[in-house]
Structure 1
Amino acid sequence: MSGTGRTNARLVDVELDESIGRSTPDIEHERAVAIFDLIEENRFQPAGDAGGGPYRLKLSLVDSRLVFVISRETGAPVVTHILSLTPFRRIVKDYFLICESYYEAIRSSTPSQIEAIDMGRRGLHNDGSQTLLDRLTGKIELDFDTARRLFTLICVLHWRG
């Protein structure tokens, strides 16, 4: 990533809506890691934003829709995008199921069984990330790794514990 992209077309803060409750240690860990990784390295810019970043992002769920409230680092509002979560329902449901299998396998399965489940988990995660990338086309410019981290946060928003 170029120095300019790193400085301007990026997130410097991600906040999850306060209505999202605490959850299991595994999910809380995934949330913290995803937010840390997202802030540490990302490419994120609202399409057509002439003012430039860096940006702050607040994510929330309202009536089965994902709300992206984007502001400048200073807090000045930039844009709000609302995405239907309907295209994610099947992927998120399947992802939850395979994550449960994965966490159970970590406790009681062989390394080869864990690896097989993890490969399936990563495949579903990639599917969800690509769906997110496609749905944000023309709204927010981001790369696949940023979409992966955002998809993890979408899952965390669903996991209310």
Structure 2
Amino acid sequence: MVTDAPSASKLVAVTLDEESIGRSGPDIEHERAVAIYDLIEENVFQPADQGIGQYALHLSMSENRLVFDIRTPDGAPVVAHLLSLSPLRKIVRDYFMICDSYYAAIRTATPDRIEAIDMGRRGLHDEGSKILQERLGGKVDMDFATARRLFTLICVLHWKG
């Protein structure tokens, strides 16, 4: 597992394939941009069997799989991995349901209730992040915080607004 050392490998760019992922309304595009910014701002990301360096990640969809096309910052191919989203679908769906509950609770619920819902939301987010790390195990090393940010981006890719 890669550590969060100053010399650790990292993502310096993340792009989304507009043909396979598509564009959305302004709210969703804003959330995607925020998720990408957060991921690039702080991450530890190193493809297996690669030296320490900087990487660019291009995400696309192919036959219901998320394609992680990892390149050097100047565009030279490093490696591509296909990730089935099936193991994440239920967690993403549950995550959206609990987020809806959280936003509804903010308007009317007690602080204790809001905190309980938020704990559940964070628990699902952690679970999705762990699954993502496991699914990419042996392919891409990343710390847990990076897995959380990447899971956030995957959720935003599924968000319908």
TM-score by length of 1: 0.88
2:142 corresponds in structure 1 to 142
How many residue pairs are counted as aligned between the two chains? Answer: 156
CA distance in 1, matches of 2:113, 2:53: 44
Structure 1 unaligned runs (5+)? none
Q: What are structure 2's unaligned runs of at least 5 residues?
A: none
Q: Secondary structure at the match of 1:70?
A: strand
Per the alignment, do residues 63 and 13 of structure 1 end up closer, same or farther by CA in structure 2, a change over 3 Å counting?
same
Match of 2:37 in 1: 36
Tell me how far apart the structure 2 counterparts of residues 126 and 15 of structure 1 sit (CA, whole Å): 24
% identical aligned pairs: 62
Equivalent residue, structure 2, for 1:22: 24
Deviations 1:79-117 (A, max 9, x none): 110011111111111111111111222233232221111
SS of structure 1 residue aligned to 2:131:
helix
Give the Cα–Cα distance (whole angstroms) in 2 for the partners of residues 109 and 24 of structure 1: 29
**CA shift in 2, pair 1:33/1:106, >3 Å:** farther
SS at match of 1:66: strand
Task: Name the counterpart of 1:4.
Answer: 7
Following superposition, the deviation at residue 23 of structure 1 comes to 4.4
How far apart, in 2, do the equivalents of 1:126 and 1:29 lie? Answer: 23
What is the TM-score when the length of structure 2 is the normalising length? 0.88
